[in-house]
Amino acid sequence: MKRPNIIFIVADDLGYADLGCYGGRDAAFGPVSPVLDGLAANGLKLTQGYSNSPVCSPTRFAMITARYQYRLRGAAEEPIRSSSRGSTTLGLPTDHPTLPSLLKAGGYQTALIGKWHLGYPPHFGPLRSGYDEFFGPMSGGVDYFTHCDSTGQHDLWFGEQDKKEDGYLTDILSKRAVDYVERMAVKQKQEEEAPFFLSLHYTAPHWPWETRDDAEKAPTVKDNLFDLAGGNIHVYRRMIHHMDEGIGWIMAALEKHGMADNTLMVFTSDNGGERFSDNWPLVGGKMDLTEGGIRVPWIAHWPAVIAKGGESKQLCMTMDWSATMLDAAGVKADAAYPLDGVSLMPVLKDAKHSFRRPLHWRMNHRGQEAMRDGDWKYLKVDGNEYLFNIPADERERANLGKKEPDRLAAMRADWLAWNATMPGIPEDATVSLGYSVKDMPQR
DSSP letters of 366-431? Answer: GGEEEEEETTEEEEEETTEEEEEETTT-TT--S--TTT-HHHHHHHHHHHHHHHTTSPPPPTT--B
- Report how far residue 254's alpha carbon sits from residue 276's, in angstroms, rounded to the nearest whole number: 32
Residue 227 confidence (pLDDT) above 70:
yes
Helix (H) or strand (E) holding 73: none
List residues with catalytic annotation.
56, 117
Residue 183 confidence (pLDDT) above 90:
yes
Q: What is the mean pLDDT of residues 193-201?
A: 96
- Report how far residue 366's alpha carbon sits from residue 138's, in angstroms, rounded to the nearest whole number: 27
Residue 214 confidence (pLDDT) above 70:
yes
**Is beta strand 263-269 parallel, antiparallel or unpaired with respect to 298-301?**
antiparallel
344 pLDDT tier (thresholds 50, 70, 90): very high
Q: What is the pLDDT of residue 197?
A: 98
- Please, what is the average pLDDT of the chain? 97
- Report how far residue 279's alpha carbon sits from residue 289's, in angstroms, rounded to the nearest whole number: 13
Query: How many Cα neighbours within 13 Å face the side chain of 333?
Result: 21
Residue 330 confidence (pLDDT) above 70:
yes
What single string gives the DSSP state of each residue in 388-399?
Answer: EETTT-TT--S-
Residue 32 confidence (pLDDT) above 80:
yes
- Report how far residue 247's alpha carbon sits from residue 254's, in angstroms, rounded to the nearest whole number: 11
pLDDT digits (tens, 9 = 90+) for 382-434: 999 999 999 999 999 999 999 999 999 999 999 999 999 999 999 999 999 98
325 pLDDT tier (thresholds 50, 70, 90): very high
Residue 352 confidence (pLDDT) above 80:
yes
Question: Which distant-in-sequence residues (6+ apart) come within 8 Å of 222 by Cβ?
Answer: 143, 146, 148, 152
pLDDT digits (tens, 9 = 90+) for 81-116: 998 999 999 999 999 999 999 999 999 999 999 999
- Give the pTM: 0.98
- Percentage of residues in the chain with pLDDT exceeding 90? 96
- Report how far residue 333's alpha carbon sits from residue 336's, in angstroms, rounded to the nearest whole number: 9
| 364-373 residues labelled b (16+ CB within 10 A) or e (exposed) | ebeebbbbbb
Residue 274, Cα to own-chain centre: how many angstroms?
14
Q: What is the pLDDT of residue 443?
A: 67
